[in-house]
Amino acid sequence: MGNLICMAKKDGGSKGNNGSRSSRRMGVNRSQRKLLSEEELLHRQALSMALHQHQLSQRFDNGSMSRRIGSTSSRRKNLPDGDALANGGKQDKVPENLENIKIKKFVLIHGEGFGAWCWYKTIAQLEEVGLVPVALDLTGSGIDTTDTNCIKTLAEYSKPLISYLENLPEDEKVILVAHSTGGACVSHALELFPGKISKAIFVCATMVSDGQRPFDVFAAELGSADRFMQESPFLIHGNGKDNPATGFMFEKQLMKGLYFNQSPTKDIALAMVSMRPSPLGPIMEKLSLTPDKYGTSRRFYIQTLDDRVLSPDVQEKLVGENPPEGVFKIKGSDHCPFFSKPQSLHKILVEIAQIE
């Protein structure tokens, strides 16, 4: 299918001859104050959500429970991102025919180091238009209390997602959304439950082919798996230096430049206090994907064009080697479009949900 590109709309506005320069300046200042107020509101909600999640983590002994985060209230305001601001601060209207969408439930799967918390903007935006977002913590992520050093397989890492799908009613389907290495978990789920997944959306994610490891996608940036396992300074040896590495985590300053080069400062601050080490075993495991199961799935890919973790060239290679049904592109987005381009991401998710 042809590429659908989500681009910023440039609107220079009209310059009236009668309006005074001072009145225009006052209008701009009022608009800026309004946007800042909306941003402050949304970040207060994020902080409240993070606190609530922390309280939940103290309440549950078994952190592997899958749970939904975010209120069911539809009163939250959307925060315009760069695309909307370039259009005079006015957000594009969401299509009125969303009631006709058959599959309304989105299951959001985070990438390495993240947790369900990273989707807070996407959750708010999807709920506001009547869709049903469910964000899950993978094993050892977010508020799940499992020690990441004990997670050795993709099946263990993906267990919250697999349990969720197992418990779905027989007549219910969902749309899966995967970020980064969460793509491997979604691919694993597509192989196990092709009949329960209406569509799978890979957001700058590891959409691998049969027999490929998630790590192989990053080989161009990180080198071979053997070299990474021997030389990387980011490895974690949870069982002692004399034993194989159990996880990895980038140093915070490096993480800021890699993951969040276009993200708002407050979202970066939220990430810096929320991200956790990632288990190494799941990304080193080769996936077994068959034509009869995984091959029958409807897959879509969202490329991020200012991505320093998974470069646009690597993403282009992924969709070339394992072609999805549709490809979308977000200009000006880093590796975390849920932070840097939330409105653009939202519009694409809604558009994909509407595809028959």
Give the catalytic positions in this structure.
180, 307, 335
From CA 4, how far away is CA 201, in angstroms rounded?
14
Q: Give SS3 for 24.
A: helix
C-alpha dist (Å) from residue 325 to 31, 77, 157: 40, 32, 27
Task: Classify residue 130 as left (phi > 0), alpha (psi -120 to 50) or beta.
Answer: left
Q: What is the DSSP string of 158-200?
A: THHHHHHHHTS-TT--EEEEEETTHHHHHHHHHHH-TTTEEEE
Query: Which contiguous run of DSSP H or E holds residue 132?
Result: strand 132-136
- Kindly state the tokens that stand for 350: 């809604």
Q: Which of 161, 170, 217 is nearest to 192 (CA)?
A: 161
Q: Torsions phi, psi of 218, nearest 5? A: -95, 5
Question: Which residues lie closer than 8 Å to 260 by C-beta, 6 or more apart?
Answer: 267, 268, 271, 334, 335, 336, 339, 340
Determine how many CB atoms are found less than 10 A away from the CB of residue 177. 29
Beta strands in 239-355 (DSSP E): 247-248, 278-279, 299-304, 326-330
